[in-house]
Amino acid sequence: MFIAILIAAVVLALLGCITLPEKPIERITTLKIGYQPSTHHIAEMVAAERGMWQSDLSPFGIAEIKEYVFQSGPPEMQAMLAGDLDVAYVGVAPPISAIAQGLDAKIVAGVSINGSNLVFRTGLAYHGPGSLEGLSVGTFPPGSIQDIILKKWLKENGVDISKVKIIPMGPGDAITAILAGKVDAVFLPQPSPAIIELSGKGRSVLTAGEMWPNHAANCLLVSGKMIREHPDLVAQIIRTHINATNYANAHPLEAAEIYANRTQQDLKAILYSLQTWDGRLISDPKIEIPSVLEYARVNYELNYTPRQLTERDLFDTSFY
């Protein structure tokens, strides 16, 4: 009996020394990047058109860069939830709802602050927040930064949100709607407000920075799997983003030309947008933390998320 017990103990000890082989880390050769046709995301376009993504990431085994364009942040986050994106240039609000739904991703860098405008159709008077009662306003879908900022601003100024007809739409549809007189106003990121103003069919009455000074607008979001399995690649993606942001800030004319060629939009409108917007291209994620946490609070209060997300839920600033 004693010998049997001793043998069993030895067998268990030997088994304890055996470790199962770790699952091999998947090699990445294609990087999938999402972005939107907004001057907020001009750094992504600069990095692509100047060959920065390809030259900087090829030493890490990236042979192909696939770019996907989205009209707003919520559908972009649905694509990331489905595993169709590794990296996203996106407004800071949509990732909050997506992460609350189970998206494995973190904000690793900043992209922009401010940079949207409330535009009234020509001939319609604006006398403050109360002017929006009874009006139709086209803006991005629920959970987007424009949706959150608009509703936050209305609520803080004592306006009953239910008395404003907020219609979710992408930038192209919103521009078409106000030019045709189908909506009274739009709240959109640049360059859409500039395009409307130059058409003579609307005028900017308020900037997003006046609604909420120095708020975070867009961020660089990376999948959690890539952060865990390929941290060196993530670090280089951030370095490339920083370089592209600095280049766009230092060469606004070339950046505008790249944007206009990419989107087939009028260069005059893009230059006007960059000259008149209240936005700023950035890369430091720490600048965005306070207002992103405020977005998280408003998301929770609007019942967009089941709990209020924290900095730990949303950010990984260790690369910056």
Extract the residue ranges of the chain whose pLDDT is less than 50: 1-21
So what's the pLDDT on residue 300?
Answer: 97
So what's the pLDDT on residue 13?
Answer: 46
Give the residue among 290, 160, 275 at the shortest CA–CA distance from 215: 290
What does the H/E/C string look like for 125-181? CCCCHHHHCCCEEEECCCCCHHHHHHHHHHHHCCCCHHHCEEEECCHHHHHHHHHCC
Supply the pTM of this predicted model.
0.89
Work out the mean pLDDT of the chain and round it to a whole number: 93
So what's the pLDDT on residue 21?
Answer: 47
So what's the pLDDT on residue 216?
Answer: 97
So what's the pLDDT on residue 308?
Answer: 98
| pLDDT 10s digits, 28-70 | 999 999 999 999 999 999 999 999 999 999 999 999 999 999 9
So what's the pLDDT on residue 185?
Answer: 98
| pLDDT 10s digits, 126-154 | 999 999 999 999 999 999 999 999 999 99
> Where do the domains of the chain lie, and which CATH numbers do they carry?
30-113+216-314 (3.40.190.10), 116-211 (3.40.190.10)
So what's the pLDDT on residue 121?
Answer: 97
